[in-house]
């Protein structure tokens, strides 16, 4: 039986947490047994954060429950009528 080695790398990205508009703690865990995980470049600077609209605003609009024909990763879940009513009740900007 071959020798097993375990390697772990940890890094804390305080800026990831500080860039969130909501004030709650989040844990983002990335793990792989087979490949090294590369982090993407930061999405913001000390001058501010990018918004969701800036990050995904270029994607075409897709109705809930439908898939985008040009992007397999762009598909919103099917929303219940109650959820749609709740979303419509949220004031622009989040209130």
- State pTM to two decimals: 0.40
**Residue whose pair of structure tokens reads 């390697």 in the numeric block:** 7
pLDDT tens-place string over residues 35-63: 888 877 776 666 677 777 888 888 899 99
List the structure tokens of 82: 């109650």
Q: Are 20 and 14 spatial neighbours (Cβ–Cβ below 8 Å)?
A: no
Give me the chain's average pLDDT, please: 75
């Amino acid at each position: 039986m071959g020798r097993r080695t375990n390697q772990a790398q940890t890094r804390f990205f305080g800026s990831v947490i500080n860039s969130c508009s909501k004030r709650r703690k989040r844990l983002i865990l990335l793990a792989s047994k087979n490949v090294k995980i590369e982090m993407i470049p930061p999405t913001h600077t000390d001058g501010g954060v990018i918004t969701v609209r800036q990050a995904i605003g270029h994607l075409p609009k897709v109705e809930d429950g439908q898939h985008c024909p040009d992007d397999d990763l762009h598909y919103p879940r099917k929303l219940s009528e109650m959820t749609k009513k709740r979303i419509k009740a949220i004031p622009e900007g989040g209130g």
